[in-house]
Structure 1
Amino acid sequence: MDFSWPLVLAGALTGAAVGLTGMGGGALMTPLLVMIFGVDPTAAVGSDLLASVAMKPVGAAVHHRAGTVRWDFVRWLLPTAVPAGFAGAFAMHLLGRGDELTSRLKYVIGGALLLAVLGLAARALLDRRRAALPAAAQDTGTQRVRPVPTLLIGLVGGLIVGLTSVGAGTLIIVLLMLTHPRLQARELVGTDLVQAVPLVAAAAAGHLVAGDTSLSLAGVLLLGAIPGIYLGARVSAKAPNRLLRGVLAILLVGSGLALWNVPTSVIVAASAGLAVLGVATALVRGGRRRADPVPVPTEGAEAASAAP
């Protein structure tokens, strides 16, 4: 594929989304390539995975230095995730050949995108419930690995990533949250990013062997993605993360429905409904915060504050 500034820009936007939110790589890049640039879905999945091989280690290195990676979880995820990711590239071709494969793969990718949206919603709900618990209830010790559920998460997540390039940064985190509720948020993100490096590499290798990858396309995408993810990671602490995740959810819903050939009017209505729901939820939560009573200091606290 020839050099294209719009493709570089698409890579930069996707990289920035990953740097800002920790997710959205395949979920944004693959539908962009298919719907906007007219890339064949098989080539879009393979090329996106190859580009992700260079992007994932950036976030993984940051979390490794911060000590937020649970290597015991990584060791139980990879035995099933890596072979499943590699096999997913070949499982794709069980959907058919030629135009039949292209049509069916669009539906599979669209389904994975909508599943990712459900994952975003589930993660937000679980985070909110955890934050609402008293401090004593949240501090329940170190979460131990549950081997069988973790192996199954690697198997399911790896297969979906190999098939669609979607899910490494969304579905696996949610499944880990559901099966290991005491894992800290920073441990979830760090562990997922580290295990995603060999997972995405295996899936990309499978697509290379299957002949589904365009090296030139992946290279053009990386020209924008590498600086995009770096800049996104630099400003992530200052960015309104909830707003960004809300925008990402709306984009994923619109992309998933479009790949399912849903009428444009329905897509617009669904996206607008999500936006209204998000704004209403934010307003309600803001009103609750303002309505919360200001804590009155106890006599001991007043005495302590008055002491020199």
Structure 2
Amino acid sequence: MELLEHVVSYILSFELIHIAAGSLVGFVIGLTGVGGGSLMTPILVLGFGIAPAIAVGTDLLYAALTKCSGVFFHHRNKTVDWRIVGLLAAGSVPSSIITVALLEQIKTAGFNSDRLMMLTLSVMLILTSFIILIKGRLVSYVSHHHSESKAVLLIKKYRPHITVLSGVALGILVTISSVGAGAIGSAILFLLYPRKKPISIVGTDIAHAVPLTAIAGMGHMHFGSVDYNLLFGLLAGGIPAIYLGSLIGQHIPDHWLRIAIAILLFAMGIKLAV
């Protein structure tokens, strides 16, 4: 009983607005399956006035912690291709570390790193909104029109190299904006590995997202751009809300939810750009 009181007291010490933000985003994640990075960072910046660097750094650690259970689930069900995870990480981990260091150098030199983050975030949100809308058609097209064309043969020949380069791009973009490890990462994998089952693509993408977001988040943490009270408040509100959203989401048409989220992401992307 005393332990429970300590837990309740600890949770109440968080800013209620942070718990509300975590609950809102967690609920939408559970409802739609859309990644938290696409929603959390712009909501923190636009809705709660959090500085872009703090929002990105905190959201990266939030993503790493909330995706861990997903990796365990997919690994247990053998829906993770660890070879692909290794190829992606071979590109994304070094590029993430280098990007964090460059961001700090930019900041030290007096340049506006927050503006760079805002512009990158804007582009990534707009790109993610389009991917959410066309992902189903893209997967269907690739699955039914996979042929031995010159382009396909070229991708097959250099697939490991392209996968590593894709990891490099994801490492840079996710570290700057915290967006892309989910929707964009899985879209790349669908294009590179069209014969893999969708569930395996999802599991592999999540398994890669955890080390990427963790390392990027720890890089931001090293330079002081993580708000721990905000992080724990988001986790306190987000984890239960993800479960609640997944329960309710079973009874709501997925198609219309995804359209609504895509429109929201597009609008936030435009707002951040102006």
State the TM bucket, normalised to the shorter chain. Answer: 0.7 to 0.9
TM-score by length of 1: 0.74
Q: Is residue 2:95 matched to residue 1:71? A: no
Match of 1:164 in 2: 177
Identify which of 228, 231, 251 aligns with 2:241.
Answer: 228
Structure with more contact order per residue of length (Cα contacts < 8 Å, sep ≥ 6): 2
Q: Structure 1's 255 and 239: CA in aligned 2 closer, same or farther, altered over 3 A?
A: same
Contact 1:90 1:210 in 2 (8 A): no
Match of 1:305 in 2: none
Q: How many residues align?
A: 252
Q: Is residue 2:95 matched to residue 1:84? A: yes
Identify which of 183, 208, 211 aligns with 2:221.
Answer: 208
Which deviates more, 178-187 or 59-68? 59-68
Amino acid in structure 2 at the alignment position of 1:107: L
Q: Is residue 2:20 matched to residue 1:12? A: no
Partner SS for 2:225: coil
Q: Is residue 2:118 matched to residue 1:113? A: no
Shift of 1:145: 9.4
TM-superposition CA deviations, 1:192-246 (whole Å, max 9, x none): 1111111111111110112111111111111111112233345555442222221
Which deviates more, 163-172 or 241-250? 241-250
Contact 1:173 1:192 in 2 (8 A): yes
Match of 2:206 in 1: 193
Partner SS for 1:158: helix
TM superposition outliers: structure 1 runs of 4+ over 6 Å:
none
TM-superposition CA deviations, 1:86-121 (whole Å, max 9, x none): 333233345556783333321221111112123223
Match of 1:126 in 2: 138
Q: Distance in 1 between matches of 2:103 and 2:77?
A: 37
Q: Distance in 2 between matches of 1:111 and 1:206?
A: 22
Q: Distance in 2 between matches of 1:194 and 1:120?
A: 20
Contact 2:104 2:223 in 1 (8 A): no
Match of 2:41 in 1: 30
TM-score by length of 2: 0.82
Partner SS for 2:196: coil
Amino acid in structure 1 at the alignment position of 2:119: Y
Partner SS for 2:112: helix
Amino acid in structure 2 at the alignment position of 1:241: D
Q: Distance in 1 between matches of 2:116 and 2:271?
A: 14
Amino acid in structure 2 at the alignment position of 1:120: I
Partner SS for 1:39: coil
Match of 1:283 in 2: none
TM-superposition CA deviations, 1:123-147 (whole Å, max 9, x none): 22213325767xxxxxxxxx99931
Q: Distance in 2 between matches of 1:82 and 1:51?
A: 18
Partner SS for 1:208: helix
Contact 2:97 2:216 in 1 (8 A): yes
Identity of aligned residues (%): 36
Q: Distance in 2 between matches of 1:79 and 1:20?
A: 32
Higher CA-based Rg: 1
Amino acid in structure 2 at the alignment position of 1:170: A
